[in-house]
């Protein structure tokens, strides 16, 4: 089997860790065993012909599992559509890495900005929220829709003077200069009516140790003073001579608000931002969240992100698999549907086809037993349990989603 399909990544796991789980599930199936055996035999023959030596297990490891890649990273906090290429389908993934339209739904909290732009970062600033009102908030829909300059977050996978931005953050060093803004497109932005409500389950971030505060203080000049831009559509429509937003400084946290937060502790609920955005590749949703906070003369950090759609693959169109489809269903069921999706693409209703396959295919009772020889297909228990080795520095490195 070769081609492209989509699967829903849950929150709380990196894209690479999740893909490893999927790869393991497909590799151990009978559906792919013949292809793996053929590829292994070809590689063994090729190696022996070129070197005159027998190929070791290490040399054959690459072809002893399903060839797989993904079409755009989702960071651990994010869930949603992850486009997967298998076999020769991996060659088509480049089409998804740039030039694709993506749809996101996000929730954030007003009153704090962080180093990463989300709940996992260190606090950079605390600001007032008592002036916020829904009518003003709705104006951001117009201000940010269209061609827009956007400053990537410091934890993005970008470099400055040959050094990754996240390295400066990890070392607590200021950047040599401000991060250059990028041109992106926001095709549509909808702020939902439950925005500014406080009836949610999110715990508000509060300052931690003095040491942590001192560390991030070095980054403030480069991160808090990023230029805020409004879209070209908005500035042209209103006859403004520059896309640089003329917005006054955020309101500082008032003494009254500070006392309220201190008194309520973890029970304090900050006003929520809830929106849906249709964006181009290269758009950083967490930067959009931060910019909306600045536009409202406050601050904002992301607590939830769902990629609803990437190109034609959409959770709302039911053409996206879940990992459980491959780990909990009999492969006689999922293989039939997967083959159909690889042949026909995003037009297939995965949920409906799985229901049909359950009825049409006689299913054996499946025992999900991992073979004793777990290195058979290039995996070991250690590999699966420690899939996060490659991203052990993720907490600071933060390969931020570039959509």
Catalytic residues: 75
Q: What would you report as the CA-atom Rg of the chain, rounded to the nearest whole angstrom? A: 24
For residues 165 and 301, what is the distance between their CA atoms, to the nearest angstrom?
A: 19
Copy the structure tokens of residue 42: 């070809």
Torsion sign (Cα): 41, 44, 46, 52: negative
Angstrom distances, CA of residue 65 to CA of 33, 375, 379, 383: 9, 11, 9, 13
DSSP secondary structure letters along 19-73? HHHHHHHHHTSHHHHHHHHHHHHHHHHHHHHHHSSPPPHHHHGGGSS--EEESS-
Bridge-based pairing of strands 3-9 and 321-322 is parallel
Phi, psi torsion values for 281, nearest 5 degrees? -60, 145
Structure token pair of residue 238:
């209103």
Of 20, 13, 10, give the one whose Cα is nearest residue 68.
20
* Residue 277 dihedral angles phi and psi, to the nearest 5°: -135, 135
CA distance 190 to 105: 9
C-beta separation of 70 from 83 below 8 A = yes
Helices and strands, counts by H and E, the chain: 17, 14
């Amino acid at each position: 089997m070769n081609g492209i399909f989509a699967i829903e990544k849950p929150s709380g796991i990196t894209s690479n860790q999740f893909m490893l789980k999927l790869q393991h599930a497909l590799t151990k199936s009978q559906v792919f065993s013949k292809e793996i055996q053929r590829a292994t035999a070809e590689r063994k023959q090729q190696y022996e012909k070129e070197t005159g030596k027998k190929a070791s297990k290490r040399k054959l490891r690459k072809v002893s599992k399903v060839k797989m890649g993904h079409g755009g990273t989702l960071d651990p906090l994010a869930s949603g559509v992850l486009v997967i290429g298998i076999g020769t389908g991996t060659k088509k993934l480049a089409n998804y890495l740039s030039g694709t339209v993506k749809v996101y739904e996000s929730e954030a909290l007003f009153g704090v900005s962080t180093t990463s732009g989300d709940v996992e970062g260190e606090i950079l600033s605390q600001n007032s929220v008592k002036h916020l009102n829904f009518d003003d908030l709705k104006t951001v829909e117009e201000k940010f829709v269209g061609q827009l300059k956007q400053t990537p977050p410091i934890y993005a996978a970008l470099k400055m003077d040959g050094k990754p931005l996240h390295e400066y953050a990890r070392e607590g060093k200021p950047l040599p200069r401000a991060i250059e803004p990028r041109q992106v497109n926001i095709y549509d932005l909808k702020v939902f009516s439950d925005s500014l409500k406080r009836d949610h389950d999110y715990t508000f971030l509060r300052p931690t140790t003095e040491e942590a505060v001192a560390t991030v203080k070095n980054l403030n000049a480069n991160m808090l003073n990023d230029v805020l831009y409004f879209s070209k559509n908005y500035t042209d429509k209103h006859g403004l001579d520059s896309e640089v937003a003329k917005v006054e400084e955020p309101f500082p946290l008032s003494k009254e608000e500070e006392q309220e937060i201190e008194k309520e502790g973890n029970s304090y609920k900050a006003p929520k931002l809830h929106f849906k955005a249709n964006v181009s590749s290269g758009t950083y949703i967490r930067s959009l969240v931060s910019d909306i906070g600045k536009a409202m003369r406050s601050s904002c950090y992301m607590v939830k992100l769902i990629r609803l759609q990437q190109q034609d693959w959409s959770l709302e169109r039911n053409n996206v698999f879940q990992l459980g489809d491959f780990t909990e269903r009999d492969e006689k069921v999922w293989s039939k549907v997967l083959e159909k999706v690889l042949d026909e693409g995003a037009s297939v209703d995965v949920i409906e086809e799985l229901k049909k396959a359950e009825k049409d295919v006689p299913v054996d009772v499946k025992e999900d037993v991992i073979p004793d020889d777990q290195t058979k297909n290039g995996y070991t228990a250690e590999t699966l349990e420690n899939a996060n080795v490659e991203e052990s520095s993720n907490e600071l490195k933060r390969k931020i989603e570039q959509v």
